[in-house]
Every structure is written in structure tokens, then in C-alpha cells.
Amino acid sequence: MKVAVVGATGLVGTKMLQVLAERNFPVTALYPVASERSVGKEVEFKGKKYKVVSMTDAIALKPNVAIFSAGGGTSLEWAPKFAEAGVTVIDNSSAWRMDPTKKLVVPEVNAGVLTAADKIIANPNCSTIQMVVALEPLHKKYQIKRIVVSTYQSVTGTGKKAVDQLMGERRKAIVGANDEYPMAYKYPIDLNVIPQIDVFLDNGYTKEEMKMVKETCKIMGDDSIRVTATTVRIPVVGGHSESVNVEFANDFDLEEVKSLLSKAPGVVVVDDPSAQQYPMPMDAHEKDEVFVGRLRRDETQPNTLNMWIVSDNLRKGAATNAVQIAEYLASKGML
């Protein structure tokens, strides 16, 4: 299996290489791809060094699959060129997610929609991925009517610059360091919470919030689900958390909910209030599962559940989900 990783030198690209190695994806040839200024640099994969190649060279090498994590503009320009050369593209940007001709896939939820003809496959937004993994088994049983979600998202969702800002602010606060650090955000992030992720739209919601609204319905194949979201950036490195209030058409039994989630692929239930056990980002770090807890009935209206969902945004929220799509395609002989 010849594999290209586009954006291999970035935060998510590096994680994709790590996940490919850890999951023993059958890589026979690896082509790390990045911008022209990174061509010739080296990345490591399974103890070996590989030189970064250009987009054009990667296409000429005809990989079976190209996993993209290089931004929407790059994906819009280059994904069709890879696809025209017969390469299957799995794209981590927002470029193709809402394109009606492209599949938006979370393997635990809707891998079955994929066919060999799908040459550009979209990887959903990180916060959407972890939510739908947890909600899918409940939707099948009780039918979701409405979702109210508030997110608590790690700075790694923004990228290395945001991590550097957080750590720079922390050094300054703790030891009085005055070294230079970049500002990924308009405001300080350490000891602060920023209720804005991505740009504001005309309706007063941010782009990130509307991604969750639209992507949830597309992935779950049900436009009747109503979703409203508030997305927030917090000073955490690694791991997104979500408070989710979900209204069902049918009533539920709380023990049955726990049982359904415990048996669901990719879900781990951590829910023991008596022992103060619940999912936290520090526990999800470097893991591929979606962790669910704080399960309780909403006492203000019928058929409504409160839940807390946590996952590593660089892994299941990005790299792992993309690799799982590739694994599914390979298992079905589609690569």
C-alpha cells in the first residue's frame, strides 16, 4: 500500500504518521508531502527517515491513498489532481465536507456509504466526530430530535502557534519569562476562556458552530435533527470536551443508555459519580476512543438526556478517523 501524507510536517500530519505506525497500516511506500519550502526536509516513520516531496512528485508516484491535512485552500487545489490520477484522497480540511457529491465519514457511524468510486472523502470536524460517535447508538434506539452542545476545545485544535502562545503565557506568569511568543488568538488564552472558534457568520454563530450543525445531520443521514452549538476555546493542550443535551422522540431508560454506549464501537463509558469518575481530557490524551460520562436525565423536559463527551482531538478528531477510513477502504478492497 503506497501512502502519501499531505501536510506531513504539521501538527495533524505528524499525528497521522504516528497513528499509521501504531495501527500497523500496511504501508509499503510512504510519501510525506508538504509545501515547497519543506521539500527535502525529513520526517520519521517507524524508525526510518523519509524525505518530504512536492505535490507534483507525489502525484507522479501514484500512491493508493493520500491523507490530506494541509488546509482547505490546498485541498481545493490539489485533491482533485490526486483524484484525477486515480488516488483516493481522505481530506481532513473543511473544503469538501458539505459538498453534496462527497461523502462525510465517521467509520463507526456511516462507513457503509463508501464505494470504490469515492475518490475524495471528507473527514469531519473534530468536535462533530466525537459527538456523533457517542450519539449514533442512541439515535438508532430512541431517535434524536434536538441537540444542544457546548464545547470546551483544546488549543491544539488551532495548531502549534496556539500551543506556543499558551505555553509562552504560562512561562511569563509562573517564572516571569519575557521571551517572545506568537499570538494565535486576539486575547490571552492562559487563565482565560474564549467563546469564539473560527470567524463569526451573519447569523451570529461562528463557522465552527455551524460546522457542527450541518455536519451532524449529514453524517447521521437525518436532516430532521435540530442542532444548536456554542464552541469555546479553553487553556488545555490535547482533548476536546462537550456538554451535550439531547432530546429524543422516544423515552429512554438510563441503565439501557449506559448499556448501549458500553457496547458501541469506539465508546468508553466513564460514569461513576459516587467515585467522582468522569471523562477528562488528560485521560483521553493519546487514546483513540470517545469517552462518555455524567449521564443523567434532564429533569426540565421529557425524553431528554445530559451527557459529557471527551476525546483526543488530534487522534479520533482528526488523524485516527482518517486512518480508520483508509483501513475500511483497504478491508473492502477499495484501495
pLDDT of 294 > 90? The answer is: yes
pLDDT band with cut points at 50, 70 and 90 for residue 333? very high
Residue type at position 174: I
pLDDT band with cut points at 50, 70 and 90 for residue 36? confident
pLDDT tens-place string over residues 158-212: 999 999 999 999 999 999 888 899 999 999 999 999 999 999 999 999 999 999 9
Whole-number mean pLDDT of the chain? 97
Long-range contacts of 50-56 (CB under 8 A, 24+ apart): 52/8, 52/9, 55/6, 55/81
pLDDT of 332 > 90? The answer is: yes
pLDDT tens-place string over residues 241-263: 999 999 999 999 999 999 999 99
Query: Which alpha helices (H) appear in the chain, and where do they start and end?
Result: 11-22, 55-60, 72-84, 107-110, 126-142, 160-175, 207-220, 254-263, 281-284, 320-331
φ/ψ of 72, rounded to 5, equals -65, -40
Q: What is the pLDDT of residue 225?
A: 98
Domains and CATH numbers, the chain: 2-124+318-331 (3.40.50.720), 128-313 (3.30.360.10)
- Catalytic residue positions, numbered: 126, 240
Q: What is the pTM of this model?
A: 0.96
- Using the Cα atoms of residue 95, residue 52, residue 288 and residue 22 in order, give the sign of their dihedral: positive
